[in-house]
Chains A and B, each alone.
Chain A
């Protein structure tokens, strides 16, 4: 089956700890994206990557870091510098950076206490 997988579905961490969210795609897509969703708000772009070994900050990149060492994988690290990390995180991919058609993963709900 082709698609995007995110793991785990639920993640719990103590405040002050870094945590890494996984995103894998087997669609052979060049571009990948991370979004954050808070209750009553739309999705906000954290980081995006147009190609392997390249990534750019989105609208709310502070307190987050990413890597893109492989085409299939775009992990997101939520660092202790992120003031309000509790949220629902969605990963997406598109066949190329200029494509508007993004495919979304099932999401990871992160709770930090």
Chain B
């Protein structure tokens, strides 16, 4: 059974700092890994998606890496801003087992606070 863990559970940093969020998963047989952002009381917004054959993806100040063999991904946020404050969720898409369909398995999230 796939399990996804995110460290740290919460992170508070001053504005301008570079930071790294970590995600690990137990079964390396994944199709892809996604990073989502969730603002308080809201739905999820997809930030980055890395296919299993890729090593990293970049979007603006965000860079996500994937090491499938070790079951790890990191989300790097450069020059953090107060507007980056949110919960960041990692999710892996892997076979649901016994079906031809995949399934998203989520980590518990990292609550990021960037203070001015």
The interface bits of chain A over 72-113 (1 if a CB of B lies within 8 angstroms of the residue's CB, else 0) are 000000000000000010100000011011101111010000
Instruction: List chain B residues, Cβ under 8 A from A4.
Output: 43
Decide: A106 near B43, CB < 8 A? Known: A42-B4, A43-B89. yes
A52 interface residue (CB < 8 Å to B): no
| Interface of chain A residues 1 through 51 with chain B (CB within 8 A) | 4, 40-45, 50
Q: How far is the CA of A98 from the CA of B32 in the complex (A)?
A: 13
Closest to A42 in B: B106
Q: How far is the CA of A109 from the CA of B49 in the complex (A)?
A: 27
Instruction: List chain B residues, Cβ under 8 A from A42.
Output: 4, 6, 89, 91, 105-109
Decide: A98 near B43, CB < 8 A? Known: A40-B108, A42-B89, A42-B107. no
Instruction: List chain A residues, Cβ under 8 A from B105.
Output: 42
Secondary structure dominating the interface of B:
strand
Centre residue among A88, A90, A104 by max chain B CB count within 10 A: A104
Closest to A88 in B: B41
Q: How far is the CB of B99 from chain A (nearest CB, A)?
A: 8
Q: How large is the interface on B (under 10, 10 to 19, 20 to 34, 35 or more residues)?
A: 20 to 34
Secondary structure dominating the interface of A:
loop
Contact: B43 with A102, CB < 8 Å? no
Q: How large is the interface on A (under 10, 10 to 19, 20 to 34, 35 or more residues)?
A: 20 to 34
Instruction: List chain A residues, Cβ under 8 A from B4.
Output: 42
Contact: A90 with B103, CB < 8 Å? no
Contact: B43 with A104, CB < 8 Å? yes
Contact: B44 with A90, CB < 8 Å? yes
**Which residue numbers of B lie inside 8 Å of A, CB to CB?**
4, 6, 9, 31-32, 34, 41-46, 49, 89, 91, 93, 100-109
Nearest 9 pairs of A and B residues by beta carbon: A42-B106, A104-B43, A100-B93, A104-B44, A43-B106, A42-B108, A106-B43, A97-B101, A41-B108
What are 17 A-B pairs at a CB distance below 8 A? A40-B9, A40-B108, A42-B4, A42-B89, A42-B106, A42-B107, A43-B44, A44-B106, A45-B104, A100-B32, A100-B49, A100-B93, A100-B102, A101-B49, A107-B42, A107-B43, A109-B41
User: Given known contacts A90-B43, A100-B31, what 8 new A-B pairs fall within 8 Å (CB)?
Assistant: A4-B43, A42-B106, A43-B91, A43-B104, A98-B100, A98-B101, A100-B49, A106-B43
